[in-house]
Amino acid sequence: MDNRQKVFSNLIWRFMERFGSQAVSFVVSIVLARLLEPELYGSVALVLVITSILQVFVDSGMATALIQKKDTDDLDFSSVFYFNLAFCLLLYTGLFLAAPLLGRLYGDASLTPVIRVLGLTIVVSGVKNVQQAYVARTMQFRRFFFATLGGTVFSAAVGISMAYLGYGIWALVMQQLLNAAVNTAILWLTVDWKPRRCFSLKRLKGLVTYGWKILVSALLDTAYLKLYQLVVGLKYTSSDLAFYNKGDQYPNLLVENINSSIDSVLLPVLSAEQDKREQVREMTRRAVKTSTYLMFPMMAGLAVCAQPFVRLLLTEKWLPSVPYMQIFCLMYAFYPLHTANLNAVKAMGRSDIFLKLEITKKLISTVLLVASVNLGVYAIALGQLISCLIAAVINAWPNRRLLGYSLLEQLRDVLPALMLSGIMGGAVWSLSFLGLPDLPLLAAQVCAGALIYAGLSLAFRLDSFEYLLGAVRRRRSR
């Protein structure tokens, strides 16, 4: 199998994994949203602010270093595994002891046991993290498919059952914890790598030299994203936070299918070719063109269909989340640009540039957050959108020198998909004036959007459309 076929095969497995798990999560979120009140979602979201930030210490830095390093072996993987596990136990101990204080900070002492139970996901991730890095490094992405889908389906069944039985917030808590635990168990059963009885402090230090900058960058990024939720949750109400998060959830589900699939496959592939500048440039360009071709119409379609979508699936009690959903659709549409550019920087071994980019972006974002915090939750979301657009420019800037792929070239590459998505979005939006009930309206909008976008792509012979069509044909002919 040549490199292009290997990339496409692994991308298909990764996409199937993300699509399968997100499809199940989508159904579960609808069922739970109809069964539970928005306030419960807001309470869990506040706890996840803390656990998500701690999770970064496990999921970032060292794992990326294992993937990026040219000659990684068992000693590297085992050293990182034991270090991660010990560090995760230390993090969880600190969180367990701090839980009562955090409960008082949030103004709800009943959150103390919730924090302690959800915090166990950190320990689970410490067990899983190196296995994930090994799968990515060796391009065995089909392993992720079975592990992720198994964890998602099992935890979904438990979460829905508990919600029906009246367990309230614990239905959400157990869904999160069991998802991580079952996912990890399946990976350990199916992946042939296991930690050896070996450890090298020298190897660990070498990986830390690269990885700490990625870790700090990821920590800044996660803390910044969770800071928005924390500010909304503390300054406004739990319901406001629930609507804000629900508006983010569904665009994010679509983004995870495309962007995460490309992200996880692209880094190891680019890292393997890091000495071939022109090849890395062409692969980055293809990633930009293809991922935006897929992402733009999805986000445009969801934005214009947001109101009937929410009213039909979540009921009218969630309608206040519609404006947030539309804002986040615009924001996530440009995420493929972030992913491709940042993966190129990491693959070229420039974690120093990566860290500088993150610091610059977060300083700008903080200024925008401070400026919008007293203007209302909608203003905070708009500030996040503006910050994301500025970040796209900043992320693209280094690759003008590293790869010879400038921001202007990138904009030219994505402009056709952006224009076709705008035309498609306008046509779909016009259907809302027909006065149809929500279900037939949503069905008509989805069908019309898909047909219009595919038809325009064929008529104008878009490069990304022909590339994807050719890739599918090549795979069928094998």
Please give the full DSSP string across 72-141, using - where no structure is assigned: --HHHHHHHHHHHHHHHHHHHHHHHHHHHHHHHHTT-TTHHHHHHHHTHHHHHHHHHHHHHHHHHHTT-T
Q: What angle do CA 87, 90, 96 make, to 5 degrees?
A: 140
Instruction: Report which listed range, 6-20, 326-340, 464-478, is most confident.
Output: 326-340
pLDDT at 88: 86
Residue 273 pLDDT > 70: no
Residue 449 pLDDT > 90: yes
Q: What is the pLDDT of residues 330-383, one digit of tens each?
A: 999 988 888 888 878 877 777 778 778 888 888 898 899 999 999 999 999 999
Residue type, 122: I
Please enumerate in sequence order all residues whose Cβ is within 8 A of that of 105, keeping only pairs 6 or more positions apart, or say none. Answer: none
Percent of the chain with pLDDT over 70: 82
Residue 44 pLDDT > 80: no
Residue 17 pLDDT > 70: no
Residue 126 pLDDT > 70: yes
pLDDT at 217: 67
pLDDT at 269: 56
pLDDT at 457: 92
pTM: 0.67
Residue 125 pLDDT > 90: no
pLDDT at 386: 93
Q: Average pLDDT for residues 190-210, to the nearest whole number?
A: 81
Task: Tell which wins on pLDDT, 244 or 265.
Answer: 244
Nearest alpha carbon to residue 421 among 300, 329, 333: 300
For the chain, the structural domain boundaries read 248-478
pLDDT at 218: 67
Q: Average pLDDT for residues 455-477, to the nearest whole number?
A: 78
Residue 63 pLDDT > 90: no
Residue type, 213: K
Residue 258 pLDDT > 70: no
The 8 Å CB, 24+ separation contacts for 220-224 are 220/358, 220/359, 220/362, 221/358, 221/362, 222/52, 222/53, 222/55, 222/56, 223/53, 223/56, 224/362, 224/365, 224/366
pLDDT at 271: 56
How many other β-carbons are positioned within 10 Å of the β-carbon of residue 476? Answer: 7
Q: What is the pLDDT of residues 383-433, one digit of tens each?
A: 999 998 999 899 888 888 888 888 899 999 999 999 999 999 999 999 998
pLDDT at 22: 65
Do residues 180 and 124 make contact, with C-beta atoms less than 8 angstroms apart? Answer: yes
Summary mean pLDDT of the chain: 81
pLDDT at 344: 80
